[in-house]
């Protein structure tokens, strides 16, 4: 049993609107991490909640004809109901309107004010209501637009209270530099350090009640309320007992991992650490910023009408399949594109064809030939031992990828075992062994496949608890055995001597294949009279794609974008390879490995604006993660980079 603690948090979500796929992803990711760490024997605390103060909430309440607290109460249930529907196992749900939170916020503000770390001054700035942040004139786009959301800002001149954030700039730079695990992925740390190259200003932490009344009142000036971000960030410590239950707070705090979207990186990697330093508290272990879910190449946005409702997806295709897709399809840290077509393809391939079909074959063959109860197998042959060995290795590989926050790779390692098990059945042909009466050999093959399924189902249990419960029940496991999914037990399952007689049960398909009807097939039949009146359109000819050609639809699946090379270095021992850091715009800084070192020195490419394939699956090359591929032309003298004419195009522009 581990003595380690694991404290994981999601951002607390605004209650001005209903939850979307971005909220669902962060919360499902946190839930799966919490479940895996429980399986590893860790003492886990999982926190989520809602951010209920600020101008956006007040405006939403006014629009809906409610008081702010009525707006909060009516919206918070949408999050709570969705988390229940998605099987989220949070240990706590905090609302910033709760007394346990605002008392701690007021105590912290009073302490900082008493120590002259909060002061009052007149301020002129540019305020974005949507982001609830002030910006300087140099930050704005075209002198009037918010740099984050591109909405028009308001010019405000007023007296306010300020936190002396600038005092901690040098300390923060040093801390980030000396603690490489503090901000992850690593390119997000570089992004924060880039932000800190400019002088850090003090943070406005109040709003006058004359402009915004909905917030936590400042304990030292009743004419002001606390800035929503200063208030919200403190939830991470108020929820686990800071200032109230110090033993509990100290047990969990330094093991904390904050999961956030990349759009709130600055508030978490600059505001929050400086606040903690001023309060006198240690830093959380890691701030992990994941990417955005995109529709095509565009971020999901309510204004664009391309937001995916997670409740709809869960109702339509099942909770577990939705959870699986979210975690298997996104590499934490990078953006991912969501389409229903991609979802269905992964569902039918990974879940229906590979996993569901494997279970069905093993159970049906076992019931048909042994009444569902497999006899003790004879000594296993190399093929069986090889498969069980691979299943055992997947346990360790998933643990390693989990600790590296590369859960999609861990899932892929597990699904590779499923594919190997299907290949194993094809090679051993148990249906032929049954016909030939080779009972001992048949028992060994089915035992090995069933044991592999037991391991796989345990590894996938944190992601798909309902479906894996069904799978394990079908294998004949007892209710006590079904929930025994700790890593140590799963490793023991790979031991052939661990055979236990169980009676398998044939159940409905685990993941019934989804057949998508074509629109013309689903259309209702038209009356005969109407058919006669219609002019028959000529039948569309089937398009035959010549070998070596692609259709326009296939071409546009490749996302080409402009990227600026920020850093470049040679890779030791690799004469052809350079390791690059490239900026794809909107804070998307990536690592690329390119075979151009014989034509270009590192200093030759830094600053160039190149073209990259932005949606290429990440790959490990020479020890570095390569998240994309640059374009280069090849002739008899070597490679020539494909660059943008003039080199002055901004990063992230679509090409095509």
Residue-wise pLDDT tens digits, 433-463: 999 999 999 999 999 999 999 999 999 999 9
* Average pLDDT over every residue of 541-560: 57
* Average pLDDT over every residue of 588-594: 82
pLDDT band at 165 (very low <50, low <70, confident <90, very high): very high
What are the extents of the domains in the chain? 5-299, 340-498, 552-655
Whole-angstrom distance, CA of residue 315 vs CA of residue 396: 34
**pLDDT greater than 70 at residue 229:** yes
What percent of the chain is modeled with pLDDT above 90? 57
CA dihedral for 171, 177, 181, 185, sign (positive or negative): positive
pLDDT band at 45 (very low <50, low <70, confident <90, very high): very high
pLDDT at 636: 57
User: CA nearest 220: which of 128, 324, 116?
Assistant: 116
**pLDDT greater than 80 at residue 646:** no
**Using an 8 Å Cβ cutoff, are 231 and 106 in contact?**
no
Least confident segment among 56-70, 97-111, 285-299, 379-393: 285-299
Question: What pLDDT digit, counting tens, does each position of 100-110 carry?
Answer: 999 999 999 99
pLDDT band at 519 (very low <50, low <70, confident <90, very high): very low
**Using an 8 Å Cβ cutoff, are 255 and 5 in contact?**
yes
Question: What pLDDT digit, counting tens, does each position of 628-641 carry?
Answer: 888 888 765 677 88
pLDDT at 22: 87
Of 246 and 645, the structure prediction assigns the larger pLDDT to: 246
Of 495 and 630, the structure prediction assigns the larger pLDDT to: 630
Model's pTM, two decimal places?
A: 0.76
pLDDT at 18: 80
pLDDT at 230: 95
* Average pLDDT over every residue of 614-619: 78
pLDDT at 522: 43
pLDDT at 250: 96
Whole-angstrom distance, CA of residue 224 vs CA of residue 497: 69
CA dihedral for 508, 510, 511, 513, sign (positive or negative): negative
Angle at 551 between CA 523 and CA 613, to 5 degrees: 120
pLDDT at 46: 98
Question: What pLDDT digit, counting tens, does each position of 283-309 carry?
Answer: 999 999 998 887 655 555 555 555 667
What's the mean per-residue pLDDT of the chain? 86
**pLDDT greater than 50 at residue 335:** yes
* Average pLDDT over every residue of 586-606: 79
Determine how β-strand 574-583 pairs with β-strand 560-571.
antiparallel
pLDDT at 499: 56
**pLDDT greater than 80 at residue 204:** yes
In CATH, which of 3.40.50.620, 3.30.565.10, 3.90.1560.10, 2.40.100.20 is domain 5-299? 3.40.50.620
Element (H, E) at 207: strand 206-208
User: Which CATH code fits 340-498?
Assistant: 1.10.730.10
User: Which CATH code fits 552-655?
Assistant: 2.40.50.140
**pLDDT greater than 70 at residue 537:** no
Furthest-apart CA atoms within the chain: distance in Å:
90
**pLDDT greater than 50 at residue 132:** yes
Least confident segment among 19-28, 149-158, 241-250, 389-398: 149-158
pLDDT band at 520 (very low <50, low <70, confident <90, very high): very low
**pLDDT greater than 50 at residue 466:** yes
Whole-angstrom distance, CA of residue 107 vs CA of residue 95: 18
**pLDDT greater than 50 at residue 264:** yes
**pLDDT greater than 70 at residue 556:** no
pLDDT at 256: 97
* Average pLDDT over every residue of 10-22: 87
pLDDT at 324: 97
What's the Cα-to-Cα distance from 22 to each of 300, 462, 553, rounded to whole Å?
Answer: 9, 20, 27
pLDDT at 128: 85
Kindly give, in sequence order, each residue whose CB lies less than 8 Å from that of residue 613, ignoring residues fewer than 6 positions away: 558, 559, 560, 628, 629, 630, 631
What percent of the chain is modeled with pLDDT above 70? 88
User: CA nearest 294: which of 335, 341, 261, 325?
Assistant: 335
pLDDT band at 587 (very low <50, low <70, confident <90, very high): low
Q: Terminal CA-to-CA distance of the chain, rounded, Å?
A: 55
pLDDT band at 596 (very low <50, low <70, confident <90, very high): confident
**pLDDT greater than 60 at residue 42:** yes
DSSP state letters, 270-289: IIHHHHHHHHT-PPPSEEEE
pLDDT at 526: 47
**pLDDT greater than 80 at residue 539:** no
């Amino acid at each position: 049993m581990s003595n380690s603690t694991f404290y994981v948090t999601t951002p607390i979500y605004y209650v001005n609107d209903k939850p979307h796929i971005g909220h669902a992803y962060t919360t499902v990711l946190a839930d799966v991490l919490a479940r895996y760490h429980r399986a590893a024997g860790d003492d886990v605390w999982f926190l989520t909640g809602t951010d209920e103060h600020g101008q956006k909430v007040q405006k939403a309440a006014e629009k809906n004809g409610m008081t702010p607290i009525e707006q909060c109460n009516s919206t918070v249930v949408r999050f709570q109901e969705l988390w229940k529907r998605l099987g989220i196992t949070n240990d706590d749900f905090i609302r910033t309107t709760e007394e346990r939170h605002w008392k701690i916020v007021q105590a912290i503000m009073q302490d900082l004010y008493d120590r002259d770390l909060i002061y009052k001054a007149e301020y002129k700035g540019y305020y974005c209501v949507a982001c609830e942040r002030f910006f300087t004139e140099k930050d704005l786009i075209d002198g009037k637009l918010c740099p984050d959301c591109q909405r028009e800002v308001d010019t405000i001149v007023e007296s306010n209270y300020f936190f002396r954030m600038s005092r901690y700039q040098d300390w923060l730079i040093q801390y980030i530099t000396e603690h490489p695990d503090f901000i992850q992925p690593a390119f997000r740390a570089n992004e924060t350090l880039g932000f800190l190259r400019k002088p850090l200003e003090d943070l406005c932490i109040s709003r006058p009640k004359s402009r915004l009344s909905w917030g936590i009142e400042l304990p030292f000036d009743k004419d002001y309320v606390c800035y929503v971000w200063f208030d919200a960030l403190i939830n991470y410590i108020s929820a686990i007992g800071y200032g109230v239950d110090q033993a509990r707070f100290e047990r969990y705090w330094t093991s904390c991992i904050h999961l956030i979207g990349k759009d709130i990186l600055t508030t978490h990697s600059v505001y929050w650490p400086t606040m903690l330093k001023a309060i006198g508290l240690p830093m959380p272990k890691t701030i992990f910023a994941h990417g955005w879910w995109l529709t095509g190449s565009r971020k999901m946005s309510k204004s664009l009408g391309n937001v995916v409702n997670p409740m709809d997806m869960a109702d339509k295709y099942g909770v577990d399949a939705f959870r699986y897709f979210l975690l298997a399809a996104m590499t934490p840290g990078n953006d991912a594109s969501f389409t229903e077509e991609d979802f269905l393809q992964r569902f039918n391939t990974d879940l229906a064809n590979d996993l569901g079909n494997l279970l069905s074959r093993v159970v049906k063959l076992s019931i048909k030939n042994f009444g569902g109860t497999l006899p003790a197998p004879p000594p296993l042959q190399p093929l069986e031992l090889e498969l069980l060995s691979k299943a055992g290795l997947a346990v360790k590989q998933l643990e390693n990828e989990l600790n590296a926050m590369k859960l999609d790779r861990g899932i892929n390692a597990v699904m590779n075992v499923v594919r190997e098990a299907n290949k194993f059945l094809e090679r051993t042909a148990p249906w032929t062994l049954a016909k030939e009466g080779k009972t001992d050999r048949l028992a060994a093959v089915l035992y090995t496949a069933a044991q592999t399924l037991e391991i796989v189902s345990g590894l996938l249990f944190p992601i798909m608890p309902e479906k894996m419960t069904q799978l394990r029940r079908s294998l004949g496991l007892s209710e006590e055995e079904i929930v025994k999914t700790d890593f140590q037990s799963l490793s023991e399952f790979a031991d052939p001597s661990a055979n236990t007689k169980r009676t398998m049960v044939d159940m409905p398909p685990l993941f019934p294949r989804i057949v998508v009807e074509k629109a013309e097939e689903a259309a209702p039949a038209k009356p005969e009279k109407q058919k006669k009146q219609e002019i028959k359109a000529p039948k569309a000819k089937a398009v035959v794609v010549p070998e070596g050609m692609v259709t326009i639809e296939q071409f546009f699946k490749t996302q080409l974008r402009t990227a600026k090379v920020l850093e470049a270095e040679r890779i030791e021992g690799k004469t052809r390879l350079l390791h690059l850091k490239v900026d794809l715009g909107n804070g998307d800084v990536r690592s690329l490995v390119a075979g151009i070192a014989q034509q270009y020195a590192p200093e030759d490419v830094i600053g160039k604006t190149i073209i990259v394939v932005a949606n290429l699956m990440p790959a490990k090359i020479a020890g570095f993660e390569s998240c994309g591929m640059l374009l280069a032309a090849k002739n008899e003298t070597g490679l020539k980079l494909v660059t943008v004419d003039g080199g002055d195009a901004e990063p992230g522009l679509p090409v095509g």
